[in-house]
Structures are given as C-alpha cells and as structure tokens.
Structure 1
Amino acid sequence: MSEQLARSTPPVVPQHTPAPVEDKAISPWKDAWRSFKKNKIALVGLSIVSFFILIAIFADLLAPYNYRDVNLSDKHISPSAEHWFGTDEFGRDILSRVIHGARISLWVGFFSVAGSVIVGSLLGIVAGYYGKWVDGIISRIFDILLAFPSILLAIAVVSVLGPSLKNALIAIAIINVPTFGRLLRSRVLSVKEEEYITAARAIGMSDTRILVHHILPNSLAPIIVQGTLAIATAIIEAAALGFLGMGAQPPTPEWGKMLADSKDFIIQAPWTVLFPGLAIMLTVLGFNLMGDGLRDALDPRMKS
C-alpha cells in the first residue's frame, strides 16, 4: 500500500526564488554624481569649496576679532599665538579679515554668475530658437561685448556706475553674459533639431513650453560646468577691481583690496600679502578642480 502511495505521489520539486532583478535604470544626475565621486581631484576641489563656504557662513563665529577694530600699537605684528595671521598696518587682525573676506568674495562670485546665467541663458535661448534677425541682433551684441578685454570692460562699467562692491558685481555679471549666451545658443541650435522637439511642435505645444520643458532641461549640464568655472573667474575679477580701488571700499575686508592696501609693505610685513593671496588662490583652485570634475561627469564623451 505504501509503495502504491509513493508511486502515485508526484515528486516534490524544490522551488527556487528568482533573484531580484536590479533596476538598471539610473537617473542621469545620479550617474553623474557616481562619476564625480570617483574623481579624486574633483573631490579635493569640492572639499576646498565646501571649506570656504562654511567659513563664509560662520564668519561671525570663527573670526577671533572684529575685522574693523583698529589698534595702531599692534600694527604689523608677525603671526603669533595671539594673531595667527598677524596684523596689518592699522593693527587689524588679518585672520578675521580673511575669514570675512571669504563671505564677500563668494557672495560676489555666486551672485554675479547667477546674473550672467539668467540674462545670458535667456538671450542665448531666444537667439538659437528663433534665429533669423533675432539671432543676428543678439549675436552682434555678444560680439561687441567680447571684443573688449574683460577686465577693461569691467573697469569701464564701474567707472560709469561708480566704485563700489555692488557695481563691481554688476560689471562682472555683464562681462560674463556673452559666455553663457553663446553657450546656450549653440546648444539650442543642436537640440531644436531633435525629433522630440519636432513632435512637440506637431501636437501644438507652445514655444514657451518647448523652451522651458524640453530645451532648457537638456541644456543644464554645460551651464552647470561653465557656471562653476565662471565663479572662479568672477572671484579673480572682483579681486582685480578691488586691487585697483574700483571694487570694495574701506574698511570692507575684500581680498583684492587687502592686497592693494598691503602692497607697500610686502618686504616689511609679507604676511599681509601672503594670506589674502593664498585665500584667493585656494578658492579659485577649488572651483576649477570641481568644474573640471563636473565636466568629466556630465559630458558623455568623457566616459568610457
């Protein structure tokens, strides 16, 4: 009887649970971040930029002294335990002024580039999408602005508006508009010929929706890369205007102005020039390294 039951009962086949299939659909931005994290040099740049951003945010807490405090009896004190970066010709603590200078330089860099991106992108998108006489007028404006050396154009703008940090920011924004405008124009010229743009036109989508929902999102990668590199350039240009006395005015602790005020004491008190110069160099280096890493991560041609 047991033999008959054994024969009639089908053998039990072990059920194997299928292995979970990994979702290979990765967001382009997540893929770019993974590529960015693999670039050690780019991470160094990100660390430097993050360091200076934190210094700028917490400048009031980190500065050991008030950057405005003047003490002529302590002028040109070399770096010591009391004044880590020494003091300047007015006895002001250089470390405190460099810390607060980070806030000013980054503020000028970010907001001037933001203005350039907004205006330049708008003009570039309109020129590339509509073409014809619109493209001709806007392109000629870009050509005129690019015909002048950037620093001379910035000096001319500040001369008209008057020397101040705000006007220096405006001047830096103006001279960088053609860079973003031409970048977006060339990008739009290639994107607007894609099939999905033709399909969007065929279903009656308005030009505004096409520009906002299709063309602009597909043009963000080069804007991000160029914007990061442009911040470094803007910091240098702000320092140059400050050095010439056309940017931040005393007692604002702008790095370029600090260099200008200390140039006569470079032999007597070299630390007054050394530390503001190092701050400019490190900040610009950080943005350049990070920009190169973003370019490698966002450009498909740079990936194997």
Structure 2
Amino acid sequence: MSESLQDSAKLSPEKERSLFVQGLIDFWKQFRKNKPAIVGFLIVLFFILIAIFAKQIAPQGINDQNIAIRLQPPSAKHLLGTDDFGRDILSRIVFGAQLSLRVGFFAVIGSIIVGTFFGVIAGYFGKLIDTVISRFFDILLAFPSILLSIAIVTILGPSLNNALVAIAIVNVPVFGRLVRSRVLTVKEEEYIMAARSIGMGNTRIIMKHILPNSFAPIIVQGTLNIATAILDAAGLGFLGMGAQPPQPEWGTMLSESRQYITNAPWTVIFPGLAIILVVIGFNLMGDGLRDALDPRMKN
C-alpha cells in the first residue's frame, strides 16, 4: 500500500517541468492583467538596469568635485544640476541606485532565510518551541522598526553594511510569523498526512511539501518589504546612521542637501523622487504578485 502511494505521488522530471512552465504561463497571464502592477514592474526594471549599467550611464564620476560650479541648476551639461561640492547629481543618483537596491534585496533575502527557518520550526513542531520563537518575534515587533534599526546600528556602528544587517534583523519576525501561519495551515492538509503515513521524514516533508506551498506569500511579502527596506536605509542615511559621505546613497544625499532646499531645491527633489519612484514600483509590483499568486483573486 505504501509503495503504491509513493509511486502515485511521484512525477516524472518531464511532467514536473511541464507543470512548472504551465504555472509560469498562467502566472504571467494573470499578472499582466493588472496594469498598475505592470507599471510597477517597469519602474523596478528601469532602476535595476540603471544600477547594472551605472558606469556606462553616469556622465561623470560620483566624487568629481568642482567648487566653481557648485549648486548649479539643471542644464545641458548637468541634467539634474550639481550639489554643494560641484558634483553631478545625476551621476550620484545613478550610482545610488546600486546602493539602495543592494540594501533592499540583501536585507530582505537575509530576513527571508532566517525568518523562514524559525517560522518553519515554530509552525511545524509547535508546543514549547513555537511558544519561545513566537514570543521572540513579539518582542521584536513591539519596537518601531526605525527605532530598533537605530539601536542596532548604534551598537554595530554607522555604516551601510551595518544598516543592511539592522534592517534584515528588524524584518525577520515579519517573515517568521508569515511562514509560521502558512505552515500551521499546510501541515494539516491531507497530502501531508499521507506523506507521514508512508514514512516520509520531517525534513523531507518540510523541503518537499511545506516550503514549496509557502513560497507565494513569501514572494509577495518580500517584494513589498524591499520597498520598506529601501525607505529604512534612506531614513538611516538621512540620520547619519547608514551610508556615510561621500557614498551616494539617496538618504545621505538628502541629509547633505537639506540646508540648500530653499536656494537649490533640485539637490533635494531628485534624490527624493528616486526614493519615491522605486518604492512605488515595488509596492505596485507586490500588489500585482499578490493578486496573481492568490487563487482567490483569479476571477
């Protein structure tokens, strides 16, 4: 009986690939119906391409100073103007995309890995383990994210990498609770009980059934949290706790230029617009991913 169940549960590699490809096609058909999500995807793709080809796009070096042209308004030579050191703002925003996206992606990836690990353990094994991990998540969530990030950076020291670590730690309970909730639901499904009945071990059940059926909400939440991570990094940079001058991080650029907001507003407007656009892009794309990956939204 157990052998027949195992044989019926197995799919050939060709069948698995076919189902995967069909799933991608169905996802894209659903995703492209959401026009705001497509706009968000194009915005995100635009900034990713800027970050990848920053050296080719930037007209000047990020730290090329010329005091003679400091605080010049946008012109044909300097499309977005210059800052108080005569540096080209466009070049610094282009290279700043690399820093902001790096923080966003790697902070969220770190949060997903650690949060998923603890969330799976808490949800699958339950009892005392679940209680301890859940209370730990509750403690972290009791603090406002930006304040907890500041506290962690204060301990580690101000830098972009330490800001990345702080943002990752702050977001761990978000993914941990999400995964725990999903695991609590999935582990009661009939196919999980069938897997246990044929002697499948806990590790194999988690890797083969629990995690694959928890990816959709993780992807959606991860996309939305990239926007949050970029905002947090900009906030820490603005407060002097994140990237340090002369790094062209957008929040740091805002902090350096805030005293010139009245007589040289372009020094503040363009870095601010970059932050706004990339955050809007990830939020719109995240909403579209949620609708496309949620079976209840198919209609």
- Give runs of aligned pairs for residues 72-87 of structure 1, distance below 5 A: 72-87=67-82
Letter aligned with residue 94 of structure 1: I
Q: Which runs of 5+ in 1 are unaligned?
A: 1-22
What TM-score do you get using the length of structure 1 for normalisation? 0.91
What TM-score do you get using the length of structure 2 for normalisation? 0.93
Counterpart Cα distance in 1 of 2:118 and 2:26: 30
- Give runs of aligned pairs for residues 145-224 of structure 1, distance below 5 A: 145-224=140-219
Equivalent residue for 1:91, pick from 86, 111, 122:
86
Bigger mean CA offset, 28-37 vs 283-292:
28-37
Counterpart Cα distance in 1 of 2:76 and 2:23: 50
Letter aligned with residue 31 of structure 2: F
Equivalent residue for 2:138, pick from 137, 143, 146:
143
Counterpart Cα distance in 2 of 1:107 and 1:113: 10
Alignment partner of 2:151: what SS?
Answer: helix
Partner of residue 278, structure 2: 283
Partner deviation per Cα, 1:142-191 (whole Å, 9 max, x = no partner): 00000000000000000000000000000000000000000000000000
Equivalent residue for 2:23, pick from 28, 32, 40:
28
Letter aligned with residue 63 of structure 1: A
Counterpart Cα distance in 1 of 2:62 and 2:86: 10
Alignment partner of 2:32: what SS?
Answer: helix
Partner of residue 104, structure 1: 99
- The runs of at least 4 aligned residues of structure 1 exceeding 6 Å deviation read 23-26
Partner deviation per Cα, 1:226-250 (whole Å, 9 max, x = no partner): 0000000000000000000000011
**1:112 CA drift (Å):** 0.2
Counterpart Cα distance in 2 of 1:262 and 1:153: 26
**1:25 CA drift (Å):** 11
Partner of residue 225, structure 1: 220
Partner of residue 242, structure 2: 247
Letter aligned with residue 106 of structure 2: F
Partner of residue 299, structure 1: 294
Counterpart Cα distance in 2 of 1:175 and 1:76: 37
Partner of residue 16, structure 1: none
Counterpart Cα distance in 2 of 1:85 and 1:111: 29
Counterpart Cα distance in 2 of 1:28 and 1:100: 36
Letter aligned with residue 159 of structure 1: T
Bigger mean CA offset, 26-35 vs 235-244:
26-35
**1:28 CA drift (Å):** 3.2
Counterpart Cα distance in 2 of 1:276 and 1:220: 34
Counterpart Cα distance in 2 of 1:113 and 1:103: 15
Larger radius of gyration: 1
Counterpart Cα distance in 1 of 2:266 and 2:90: 11
CA RMSD between the two structures: 1.3
**1:41 CA drift (Å):** 1.0
* Structure having the larger proportion of residues in helix: 2
Counterpart Cα distance in 2 of 1:259 and 1:140: 37
Counterpart Cα distance in 1 of 2:92 and 2:105: 20
Letter aligned with residue 212 of structure 2: P
**1:221 CA drift (Å):** 0.4
Counterpart Cα distance in 1 of 2:252 and 2:19: 53
Partner deviation per Cα, 1:181-202 (whole Å, 9 max, x = no partner): 0000000000000011011111
Taking a change above 3 Å as real, the CA distance of residues 24 and 226 of structure 1, as seen in their structure-2 partners, is closer
**Is the aligned partner of 1:114 residue 2:105?**
no
Counterpart Cα distance in 2 of 1:267 and 1:53: 31
Equivalent residue for 1:64, pick from 59, 62, 66:
59
Percent of matched pairs sharing the same residue: 67
Bigger mean CA offset, 37-46 vs 96-105:
37-46
Counterpart Cα distance in 2 of 1:190 and 1:271: 51
Counterpart Cα distance in 1 of 2:289 and 2:168: 22
Counterpart Cα distance in 2 of 1:146 and 1:237: 15
Equivalent residue for 1:40, pick from 28, 35, 38:
35
Q: Which runs of 5+ in 2 are unaligned?
A: 1-17
